[in-house]
Amino acid sequence: MDDKQDFTEGSIFKKMIHFMFPILGALILQAMYGAVDMLIVGRFGTAAAPSAVSTGSNIMNLLTFVLCALASGVTILIGRYIGEKNNHKIGPLLGRSIAFFLTFAVLFTVLLVVFAEPAARLMKAPEEAIDLTVQYIRICGGGFIFVMLYNLISCIFRGMGNSKLPLLFVGIACVVNIFGDLLLVAVFKLDVAGAAIATVLAQAVSVVLSLLIIKKQTLPFTIKKKDIRFGKEIGDFLKIGTPIALQEFLTNLTFLALCAFINNLGLDASNGYGIAQKIQSFVMLIPSAIFQCMASFVAQNVGAGKEDRAKKGMLYGMAVGCSIGVVIGLLAFFKGDMLASVFSKDEAAIARAFEFMRGFAPEAVVTCVLFSFMGYFNGHSRTLFVMAQGLAQSFLIRLPMSYIMSIQPDASLTGIGLAAPAATVFGITLCFIYYKKMEKERLSSKAL
């Protein structure tokens, strides 16, 4: 394995930065991927198009994030096996994961196509946007298998410590999506349907090209046809990934509820929130990169028995993330209207987006601390706690606070946006308590 992919030796800072930058690049491209849809339909689509893309994207993101969370069990096990020098276990693990996730993708495709309209109405999509939202969900749902394959391939390579190939794969998808949106929405005037078709086409092209690229790589394992079946390895990665997936599912249900609360405030608020979501995806780039980097870094060092190195990696993540997060948070707080104007010419929607961002801005800093903790715990396979704290902050703080703020007379989106950092601070408190408990357990075991 390339020395740069071995996190158990050498400079912690250099290894983490080398691994994190391609992850960050991939996340930037993914954020652009989603932002392009909103930007182009906001400027060339109908008045209800931003609301439809926002609501439909929230539903698609729920399922995609659950899928990625389950696949994180594969990422963590690959890192663990590499740290233990048990590369022979990787091939069977990947074969079983392919069989499992293909089945998963077919099930989600059926659910999305059949239940698109009930889902749109449950989300309280504005009446003007109902039909467009249904179109978006059904078209994206029809291509869900490509979403599954893209994310699984990326998780596999991140587990190996290779973040450059996932960057290449998402770069391919981003370029195809931009050209697809411009052609189908701006030129052929297909509105929301055009944006959805471009999204599916981009994922499909990325998957096909990524498989061709992978064939030319020298990998530290082999996958045989007989490995692609159901087996006990599925239980191994599900044991780690299921708590993370359950947390993602229930947490994202709270985000769906938040979207429904805001949709209930009218089309301007719905459009504004859709724009704010695209901005917040950029605000969350650094925390998300740290989170993905941390799980792989910690997993390898735990497998190699280097607990102190894993702990230092977590602290580096917090320090780097918060330093950058302060700048990003200030930009979102003071210049959110300027950022929103990139996506729309509608003054009312821009004003509502800015309202939300003023409340959400502190999340750029505090999430760097929370995600460093979570990546550290995931690398130790302590995913049950990660799930528990995620659900606690979502259902005890974010959801109640968002609802209370949304039912105020002349409700401002600032208060709703503030629910996110408030919940994160609560989550950090829980993580710190659990971290001290882990440290006490580790010192006790060393004494014995």
For range 358-363, the mean pLDDT: 96
For range 111-136, the mean pLDDT: 93
Determine contact, residues 275/50, Cβ cutoff 8 Å. yes
User: What's the token pair of residue 269?
Assistant: 């608020």
- The band of 448, judged by pLDDT with boundaries at 50, 70 and 90, is low
* Sign (positive or negative) of CA dihedral 416, 421, 422, 424: positive
* Sign (positive or negative) of CA dihedral 205, 206, 211, 214: positive
Look at residue 10 and tell me if it is in a domain.
no
Pairwise CA distance, residues 404 & 412, whole Å: 11
- The band of 251, judged by pLDDT with boundaries at 50, 70 and 90, is confident
Half-sphere CA count of 419, side-chain side, radius 13 A = 24
User: What's the token pair of residue 309?
Assistant: 């190195």
- The band of 336, judged by pLDDT with boundaries at 50, 70 and 90, is very high
Residue 137 has a pLDDT of 96
Unique residue bearing structure tokens 């006990």:
232
Look at residue 1 and tell me if it is in a domain.
no
Pairwise CA distance, residues 26 & 11, whole Å: 23
Domain count, the chain: 1
216 has a pLDDT exceeding 70: yes
Pairwise CA distance, residues 220 & 79, whole Å: 12
H-only helix segments in 304-412? 307-340, 347-360, 363-379, 383-393, 399-406
pLDDT digits (tens, 9 = 90+) for 162-173: 888 888 888 899
223 has a pLDDT exceeding 90: no
Neighbours of 105 (CB within 10 A): 19
For range 261-289, the mean pLDDT: 90
pLDDT digits (tens, 9 = 90+) for 6-59: 888 888 888 888 888 888 888 888 788 778 888 899 889 998 998 899 889 889
For range 316-332, the mean pLDDT: 95
For range 384-389, the mean pLDDT: 90
Pairwise CA distance, residues 270 & 115, whole Å: 22
Residue 4 has a pLDDT of 65
- The band of 262, judged by pLDDT with boundaries at 50, 70 and 90, is very high
User: What's the token pair of residue 57?
Assistant: 């994207």
- Collect all residues with Cβ–Cβ distance below 8 Å to 83 and sequence separation of at least 6: 8, 299, 300, 301, 302, 303, 304
Look at residue 355 and tell me if it is in a domain.
yes
- The band of 146, judged by pLDDT with boundaries at 50, 70 and 90, is very high
Look at residue 7 and tell me if it is in a domain.
no
Which burial class, exposed, middle or buried, applies to 46 when counting CB atoms under 10 A from its CB (0-12, 13-18, 19+)?
A: middle
Look at residue 284 and tell me if it is in a domain.
yes
Look at residue 96 and tell me if it is in a domain.
yes
What are the Cα distances from residue 341, in Å, to 39, 337, 338?
Answer: 10, 6, 5
- Collect all residues with Cβ–Cβ distance below 8 Å to 98 and sequence separation of at least 6: 152, 223, 228
Domain range for 153 is: 15-447
Amino acid at 307: E
144 has a pLDDT exceeding 90: yes
Pairwise CA distance, residues 418 & 416, whole Å: 5
Look at residue 386 and tell me if it is in a domain.
yes
Half-sphere CA count of 239, side-chain side, radius 13 A = 9
Pairwise CA distance, residues 384 & 187, whole Å: 49
2 has a pLDDT exceeding 60: no
What are the Cα distances from residue 113, in Å, to 63, 106, 119, 149, 167?
Answer: 13, 11, 10, 19, 30
Q: What three-state secondary structure class fits 330?
A: helix
Look at residue 4 and tell me if it is in a domain.
no
Pairwise CA distance, residues 296 & 123, whole Å: 35
pLDDT digits (tens, 9 = 90+) for 408-436: 988 889 999 999 999 999 999 999 999 99
pLDDT digits (tens, 9 = 90+) for 153-192: 888 888 887 888 888 888 899 899 999 999 999 999 999 9
Residue 107 has a pLDDT of 94
